[in-house]
Amino acid sequence: MQRVTTRLADGRELLYYFDGPVPGDGVPADRRDLAPHRPVSELRYDALRDEWVVVATHRQGRTHLPGDDACPLCPSTADRLSEIPARGYDVAVFENRFPSLAAAAGRASRTPGRTPDTPGLFAVRGGSGRCEVVCFTSDHEASFADLPAKRVRTVVDAWCDRTTALSELPDVEQVFPFENRGEEIGVTLAHPHGQIFGYPFVTPRTRRMLANVRDHRERTGRNLHEDRLNAELAHGVRLVARTERWAAFVPAAARWPFEVHLYPLRHVPDLPALDGAERDDLAVVYPEILRGLDRVFGVRMPYIAAWHQAPVRRDRESAWLHLELFSTRRAPGKLKYPAGSESGMDVFINDIAPEHAAALLRGDEEAA
């Protein structure tokens, strides 16, 4: 993998990652006339839930479901300039033009609703952090599942490289690479791409998982992730894929109709900690799982693929890198919507038994 770094016309960083050597003619400059990039967002603290909420009003104007001939992630042409100046590329990563979090967000200048009797109850701070877009291919019609192993390996290396870079930013406490696919999930750009968030806090879900891992260690002296992984491997009925270095399974208490957790068999805290063999193996097994997901109903499944990594500065020995992949589709033409119980109380109700979902994802004939 080779990398070239440049800047877009408004000052945002753009990085190209190449499967092989860098093209001899290099990379072209952004010829658009753009004003300097100065996004503004803020974080508001919910004291009752002990959570931060991002308020980013400038995102109301972001690009929404453009036609294929106006896709901002396709390569630029002589007649149309996009976010990517190159006429073609392997993998491209750039700062989001409409970020939820940004280094230039600055500090909030007010605290709405605060009174002398409510110190800290309405805490607000600047929405510092980083939001990047990761384009997996210049082919608008492709999907991650279509990518050859060599390209997937380039994407994996880009995730690792960006995780390392974002972890060095002073305001970033957790790095989150993810992909949303399908309008049913809420995707507003059809081009195959993902994102990376650099949060200025440790997210609520990660804090809950880490607390459970610590409690389990205090009770048993063992790592909860390892015990869970070994139990699924021993049980076997919910396994979807197994290689020399990775294992994928449907969790026993899956929340979504089709949900897969992908773990490296070796305890590592984050993507950069993977060695070359683990990255090569991931580049093969991950697209296989995605293709299995698409085979269930014979259509491209909407999904979210979320990488769980250790926080940058704490609990790194407790975290265990893993991917959570899930789809909201429960049947052809039917979606699972988070309704009252899920959205109101965080109590999920699943319509498909995890064991049956695993059999469908494996392609077992008797499960069809």
Annotated catalytic sites, by residue?
193
Contact (CB, 8 A) for 348 and 339: no
* Distance from C-alpha of 155 to C-alpha of 147, rounded to nearest angstrom: 10
120-153 as b/e: b if 16+ CB within 10 A: eebbbbbbbbbbbbbbbbbeeeebbbbbebebbb
Q: In the beta sheet, which residues pair with residue 177?
A: 196
* Distance from C-alpha of 5 to C-alpha of 16, rounded to nearest angstrom: 6
Contact (CB, 8 A) for 59 and 42: no
CA distances from 294 to 64, 82, 284 (A): 25, 30, 16
Look up tokens 């050859």; give the residue.
148
Most distant CA pair in the chain, distance: 66
Residue type for position 41: S
Structure tokens at 133: 């877009």
Contact (CB, 8 A) for 62 and 128: no
Task: Compute how many other C-beta atoms are within 10 angstroms of the C-beta atom of residue 67.
Answer: 7
Contact (CB, 8 A) for 305 and 267: no
Residues 6+ apart with CB under 8 A from 69: 80
Contact (CB, 8 A) for 99 and 167: no
CA-only gyration radius of the chain, Å: 21
Which strands sit side by side in the sheet containing 130-135, from one edge to the other? 2-7, 13-18, 91-95, 130-135, 193-199, 174-181, 303-308, 322-327, 258-264, 246-249, 239-242
* Distance from C-alpha of 359 to C-alpha of 96, rounded to nearest angstrom: 38
